[in-house]
Structure 1
């Protein structure tokens, strides 16, 4: 019987899952197979031996394989079996829930689509088209849901297979894989870095994934929760199971698939900010709370293995834990750019909910520790500090008089419960034994945990110290009482309007917004030196000004309540001038977060929130270094920098720069801006931290994170990096705990390599390569702008041939799809947000933001050479670039992936939605020609004509998905026609069908925005 550290407030009864008494029906697609295919007896014996030694059945496949060739051939067999198995369960569900006729229809469409896609059967394509056009509304929704859920289940199977393969490699003793910490540490050791140098580097490092609520997460939380449970149950099937256990597992999976089918896939109402906050917190429960402390512990073990001298310490002690360089950030609740639904109240709600989650987790961990640390002082000595902690506890039970650890933990629990009540207003689920004083801060709580740790380590309890309490200690350092730092963000135009109103009301300046930049700076700096405030308590300001001032006041209060890390960054979108930054400094002064005076030696300026510019457009990126130089040149700003640890962050926008200038130019201008910023900050001896506003798709700066970080220009990482995790990418990366831990490890490993192995980013011909890249960028920019912004009618083509209007109506998130509400007459590409822009191109399978302009750029560069010899030399240079320059090779690798996901045949169906025949033919012909040219030029450079030739696993995954995406795309086009023509009387049901197809296509592509 376990010993609690608190009184339980109630009991929960659990009911065992009901076991199905019916046999598992096998749909037509599964004839000749079973849910658990039999293995040869010898193979089963080998698997059993390996499993008995701690490995799973799937892990043991490597022992059962007869040869390396067979292992290679069979490595994806478990994935295919999982997909077939889940597909059978889904087929059973469709038959049971919708009837035999519905199942037959879905199966006929599936077989026809597979024949069309995989066998290139044109007759099957025509048949598929006829089948889909004849569907009724109810049949359409049934088919769409079936194919959408198949994509969801295939994603779950792929994630499980990735986990399985990693374990197989680990069991086989394979060399560390790229992206792993072990591989990074080996490379760092080989480069001559010592363990002491590495620890010093990590003491100063900061790596922060930042979760954002960009509107591309198409799944409801109810669906995500059900899919997490399916993933857990599927992973169980790799464990040794009795026949009864496997039957029970199958029954549970069948139940969860049924839950999916019977759960509404779409939201009835647009998400509120509070919903987005709760959705994000679910990933902490699944992944981050356990995953980050575990990753830190494993990293310490790996460092000790590679750098054994770093483990030396006093007897009975361990080296100091690594500094909490890996932390979490969030925009959800603080990002107001284009989202009027984010207010001071949502910021407060975000902080309170975050604190409630982490405090509840700490309380649960302390309660569990009370059950585990049952040691008696009659059996083992404890430290004097632990005795003092136990004596201070309000628990005076005679039953625990000889159990100092439990008494200490009961006292800590009581203090933490009081702290939780104070910070969140919520009582602990398990009531403490008495009311005591709360902890003043997380550091005080951590000090008590350290007392327990030290006593265990010095009194024969090292094994215990390395278990749950070690993870708790790490978590406190990482999460504090606030869980994640909440960034605030607003567009610069709003700040200008607020300052203009404050100046006008105070009689400082009647029309601040109309002033030239130099005069604005002069006024702002003069006001910063004033001891009095601008704001007047009895003046009636506009709603916008009141709301903006309230945000700053709330940030100040939250810092006092939860600690300074809860709110420490303020991001200014669309930063174009120095005054955009100084305006936020002045607003901090008005809220009491800027104290002292710029330039004063006796009372230097100290600013609580770091002012962070976001450079988004191509022009903004080109001006970035100049603006930051002006900021660093401000008299007295050195004291502000010093207050922030001689660090300054700069954010770079990938999505908007791509939408503004195209894929190639966006990447190149980001690269150049980073280099210019590094040069500036090194000269000023200020540490630069770049915040990468990456999205999910390549068009928004996405692609594999490991390669993306390694391809950064030399000197731009240096142990400091923040990067956004957006929309549906949060789910794909972090819904599965093991996949999530692996993604975090990849970010850390890449940061270490990019920082400590800088020579890999500097090919000897770098200067020449950069010159060629500039020429490519200029030509790609011209081609992209000519299509998107200079082609008459292009905006009409875009709105007609993509589901952008329907996406805006999809209840994806709390943020509008455009910064400005648009009607048909006034809508502009410029006003559309970059995220739904990319989302829409993905839906129609063109993915234009990820490749357009590259082909024209390369062809122009080659053709402009004066003779054949020069043309060959140009191509040779491009080939050297892809082989020796990580930036260029990553660029092409990402583009290769996008081209593989593009489908011109499907896209041509969307083009038919444009009723202007001449416009349709003209624009689609240009897009099609550029795609072919881009593919040809990529092949010319790489020598590979097949897409993803160097990534066969991804190529197979994409190819297999296409057959299940085709029906969804075809139906989406048909439904768009019906809905926009108004031919169907039930518009609500047709619109729901459109939204279901959007959900399914997004799931099938695994990146939607």
Structure 2
């Protein structure tokens, strides 16, 4: 029996909590009822046969060959239905786990304990005075991106949310028998609809579809959760929250690349960028109007008990002079309720802003804030709870989201700018691509005129190689609009190993650019740069890239200190471990000392957006965890401790990085590797999933090198093979290069970066299945490559366990271990179905009709495995 097989059996010690087991069992039973109703009991029997077989294989009581033979017996259409069944099961299992997490959070909250990694915990750890000092510089800046890593259709996500609502209803305490029976009926109805909803998209998303999808997270969660996070901090900083002026200031700012990121995506045009901002504005103004109207309608305090201030009375009088009919109507509806009248008037003005009624509209968020604070100051004298309760939440929402919701950022490749400038300087006719570059700058100017500079001023330059790449954007802006060029903060993006090494020199060159000098003077010498985790990991391997990025952060922090620049690092991280993913709070604490300084900006994309922001309780917990980590990482005490560990283990880290990169490049740069990778994985087929509007690769045809392939399909495809190579490959060779295991253990114990790197690799290794991975790798017909991959896996697994001191993977991470254990057998089932389809397609000995059906089976299994592993890219 292999080490992994032994580990599978020992993993059974991770018990599932009763509440979670109950929900999983209930949802699974109801799904079984639906399958039997729709497909017949024989279909359910086949699903159960496969389910029991993969569980038996996990126990060493069945072989992969036996399962493959079973799967091969079924007609393709039958296999498709079975794949759908397991995919639906994963959606329901994920939902049950989410509900368990929410219940656990609420139970802890009900007990009154200070949750670890919360804002209250940060205050407890650092002290009120220190946190109040840090809060002045605190800024969290999540940036939503449209990178195609969400495998589920929006219709499927919505169906799951309806199941979630009914499960909450069913589990609500104190319900009578008839109420529970009705809840159960509705729950079954929604699961039936989930089963009948197509899992695969028929059409490719366009960029504005992606914008609207992201708006769902704002409408359902973000708008409401942000003030709750501020309230948590305010309560932790001092008693009396809700009855005094807040001690917490708004520190969250959202950004978006959706509709602005045109690097490699020709579907994102200037027109799309303009429309994206308008969609965002419509959603935030609608939300602000709704919230203001709700508060106004409940604010029935009579003037006798909450006398309006002289300033408010004067403002109402001025409003009546300007809009007599409107104000008269409000006074008639709300007699002797001046604060209610005023807020209803404010709501009418927000509505007019949304409708572009310039006679009544607000010109800027500052005007709205002034009107809200006028009401707040009036109430503070006689009704403090009304002043600093829900009205304060509304003020925080305006301060956070403005009228644009999220700052739309533009991104384009440096080579596009270079080509455009060459054409402009030549003075001849301009190509459509160059015209589009100029149109984009004009749209940025229009956005700033309409919504203010904060709505769109950052321009990210991919593959920045020199300061000239930054200067090019400013020159293009002048070419587009001359003296009327928009305000721009050009953000260099460093992605490759060489670019990361050159980053400080590029920044020094930027200081010589007049437009950059002007912006530094205007912003208090603030500068932003972006670090790319995805492409650096694809080029160097996960361990070498992690250590290279850390070293770069150290050098950039020192550069900023020398040049008296307040540098903000923008972390371009993906959701998967091979793209810089992993727990966000641990990632913050693992940053180089001084590099955080109260500011953390990071990309959020695909399935990560809905995993973190799909539910209020989970969104609040995530945001508090990250804020907690930023505060702790910005503390001098933590910084000193981390700096000491980094200095002690610097030579060890360089040794690990060098050896791991060597092993990684020996595989990925070997002749024939890209072609082999395309054969052993569903790489080619992933493009058919229509995950997003962005092309999956640069250029056409099969990839000739890794440079042709984007990081997302690279990681996505390896996850499907159950190898998860981008999350761990090379680390074993890196660890093996260090003679002393004790020194490695000391680095793991003392250095947050090394600890996070090994724990993330352990997570990726836990999602790797050796026996199934070997079946995928065999499809390429290269035993040398397959043997190389599996040998590195065995070495990495062995040494990670030695260094961490664990007897099995994820031994110290009970929740994650349970999640993997719950899903693994069912992912196995889908992997076997996928292997059947992939094997037949790779042989090519099938009719066109059969190939089409096999492709459907393959794509359904890809979708299901993504749901089961909960990371796609």
TM-score bracket, normalised by the shorter chain, equals over 0.9
Match of 1:133 in 2: 72
Matched, 1:108 2:49: yes
Larger Rg: 1
Give distance in 1, aligned partners of 2:743 and 2:33. 56
Match of 2:10 in 1: none
In the TM superposition, residue 111 of structure 1 has moved relative to its aligned partner by: 1.6
In the TM superposition, residue 107 of structure 1 has moved relative to its aligned partner by: 1.5
Among candidates 395, 406, 430, match of residue 327 of structure 2: 395
Matched, 1:559 2:448: yes
Which of the two has greater helix per residue? 2
Match of 2:17 in 1: 76
Matched, 1:693 2:572: yes
Among candidates 436, 454, 464, match of residue 575 of structure 1: 464
In the TM superposition, residue 667 of structure 1 has moved relative to its aligned partner by: 0.5
Please tell me whether the aligned partners of residues 592 and 643 of structure 2 are also in contact (alpha carbons under 8 angstroms).
no
Among candidates 126, 132, 139, match of residue 199 of structure 1: 132
In the TM superposition, residue 875 of structure 1 has moved relative to its aligned partner by: 2.1
Secondary structure class of the residue paired with 1:612? strand
Matched, 1:228 2:228: no
In the TM superposition, residue 204 of structure 1 has moved relative to its aligned partner by: 2.8
Counterparts of 1:212-611 in structure 2, within 5 Å, are: 212-236=145-169, 237-305=171-239, 318-320=244-246, 322-391=248-317, 392-393=319-320, 394-397=326-329, 398-422=332-356, 436-459=359-382, 461-505=383-427, 540-592=429-481, 608-611=487-490
Give distance in 2, aligned partners of 1:238 and 1:276. 34
In the TM superposition, residue 763 of structure 1 has moved relative to its aligned partner by: 5.7
In the TM superposition, residue 609 of structure 1 has moved relative to its aligned partner by: 1.6
Secondary structure class of the residue paired with 1:792? coil
In the TM superposition, residue 982 of structure 1 has moved relative to its aligned partner by: 4.8
Superimposed CA distance per residue, residues 948-1005 of structure 1 (whole angstroms, 9 cap, x where no aligned partner): 1111221122122111011100111111223342514243332222111111000000
In the TM superposition, residue 403 of structure 1 has moved relative to its aligned partner by: 2.3
Matched, 1:828 2:700: no
Please tell me whether the aligned partners of residues 610 and 644 of structure 1 are also in contact (alpha carbons under 8 angstroms).
no
Superimposed CA distance per residue, residues 683-736 of structure 1 (whole angstroms, 9 cap, x where no aligned partner): 111101000011111110001111110010100000111101121111211112
Please tell me whether the aligned partners of residues 407 and 455 of structure 2 are also in contact (alpha carbons under 8 angstroms).
yes
In the TM superposition, residue 166 of structure 1 has moved relative to its aligned partner by: 1.6
Match of 1:187 in 2: 125
Superimposed CA distance per residue, residues 551-609 of structure 1 (whole angstroms, 9 cap, x where no aligned partner): 010001101101221112110001111111110121223344877xxxxxxxxxx9712
Please tell me whether the aligned partners of residues 843 and 1001 of structure 1 are also in contact (alpha carbons under 8 angstroms).
yes
In the TM superposition, residue 321 of structure 1 has moved relative to its aligned partner by: 5.6
- Over 3 Å counting, the alpha-carbon distance change for 1:267 and 1:760 in structure 2 is farther
In the TM superposition, residue 395 of structure 1 has moved relative to its aligned partner by: 2.8
Matched, 1:998 2:862: yes
Match of 1:750 in 2: 629
Please tell me whether the aligned partners of residues 588 and 594 of structure 1 are also in contact (alpha carbons under 8 angstroms).
no
Matched, 1:788 2:668: yes
Match of 1:38 in 2: none
Match of 1:63 in 2: none
Match of 1:519 in 2: none
In the TM superposition, residue 901 of structure 1 has moved relative to its aligned partner by: 0.6
In the TM superposition, residue 418 of structure 1 has moved relative to its aligned partner by: 1.5
In the TM superposition, residue 104 of structure 1 has moved relative to its aligned partner by: 1.3
Match of 2:853 in 1: 989
In the TM superposition, residue 337 of structure 1 has moved relative to its aligned partner by: 0.6
Please tell me whether the aligned partners of residues 556 and 591 of structure 1 are also in contact (alpha carbons under 8 angstroms).
no
Superimposed CA distance per residue, residues 907-927 of structure 1 (whole angstroms, 9 cap, x where no aligned partner): 11112322x3xx2x1111000
Please tell me whether the aligned partners of residues 763 and 884 of structure 1 are also in contact (alpha carbons under 8 angstroms).
no
Please tell me whether the aligned partners of residues 329 and 486 of structure 1 are also in contact (alpha carbons under 8 angstroms).
yes
Give distance in 2, aligned partners of 1:417 and 1:174. 42
Among candidates 617, 620, 631, match of residue 496 of structure 2: 617
Matched, 1:855 2:795: no
In the TM superposition, residue 634 of structure 1 has moved relative to its aligned partner by: 4.2
Give distance in 2, aligned partners of 1:753 and 1:98. 55
Please tell me whether the aligned partners of residues 675 and 704 of structure 2 are also in contact (alpha carbons under 8 angstroms).
no
Counterparts of 1:142-157 in structure 2, within 5 Å, are: 142-157=81-96
Among candidates 796, 801, 810, match of residue 948 of structure 1: 810
Match of 2:794 in 1: 932
Secondary structure class of the residue paired with 2:671? coil
In the TM superposition, residue 466 of structure 1 has moved relative to its aligned partner by: 3.8
Matched, 1:120 2:60: yes
In the TM superposition, residue 202 of structure 1 has moved relative to its aligned partner by: 2.2
Superimposed CA distance per residue, residues 69-93 of structure 1 (whole angstroms, 9 cap, x where no aligned partner): xxx9988110111111111111111
Superimposed CA distance per residue, residues 506-546 of structure 1 (whole angstroms, 9 cap, x where no aligned partner): xxxxxxxxxxxxxxxxxxxxxxxxxxxxxxxxx74210011
Secondary structure class of the residue paired with 2:300? coil
Please tell me whether the aligned partners of residues 572 and 603 of structure 2 are also in contact (alpha carbons under 8 angstroms).
yes
Please tell me whether the aligned partners of residues 607 and 643 of structure 1 are also in contact (alpha carbons under 8 angstroms).
no
- Specify every segment of 5 or more residues in structure 2 that has no aligned partner in the other structure, as ranges: 1-12, 321-325
Matched, 1:733 2:607: no
Match of 2:765 in 1: 899
| TM-score in terms of structure 1 length | 0.82
In the TM superposition, residue 408 of structure 1 has moved relative to its aligned partner by: 1.5
Matched, 1:647 2:526: yes
Give distance in 2, aligned partners of 1:98 and 1:151. 19
- Over 3 Å counting, the alpha-carbon distance change for 1:379 and 1:906 in structure 2 is same
Give distance in 2, aligned partners of 1:859 and 1:436. 72
- Over 3 Å counting, the alpha-carbon distance change for 1:565 and 1:859 in structure 2 is same
RMSD over aligned CA atoms reads 2.0
In the TM superposition, residue 623 of structure 1 has moved relative to its aligned partner by: 0.8
- Over 3 Å counting, the alpha-carbon distance change for 1:860 and 1:593 in structure 2 is farther
Give the stretch that moved more between structures: 771-780 or 950-959. 950-959
Superimposed CA distance per residue, residues 217-270 of structure 1 (whole angstroms, 9 cap, x where no aligned partner): 111111111112222332331433222222222122111111111111110011
Please tell me whether the aligned partners of residues 576 and 620 of structure 1 are also in contact (alpha carbons under 8 angstroms).
yes
In the TM superposition, residue 636 of structure 1 has moved relative to its aligned partner by: 7.1
Please tell me whether the aligned partners of residues 16 and 818 of structure 2 are also in contact (alpha carbons under 8 angstroms).
no
Give distance in 1, aligned partners of 2:286 and 2:306. 31
Match of 2:7 in 1: none
Give distance in 1, aligned partners of 2:301 and 2:735. 72
Give the stretch that moved more between structures: 488-497 or 621-630. 621-630
Please tell me whether the aligned partners of residues 243 and 389 of structure 2 are also in contact (alpha carbons under 8 angstroms).
no
Among candidates 10, 29, 34, match of residue 93 of structure 1: 34
Give distance in 2, aligned partners of 1:400 and 1:286. 31
In the TM superposition, residue 379 of structure 1 has moved relative to its aligned partner by: 4.5
Please tell me whether the aligned partners of residues 180 and 745 of structure 1 are also in contact (alpha carbons under 8 angstroms).
yes
Secondary structure class of the residue paired with 2:634? helix
Match of 2:775 in 1: 909
- Over 3 Å counting, the alpha-carbon distance change for 1:247 and 1:623 in structure 2 is same
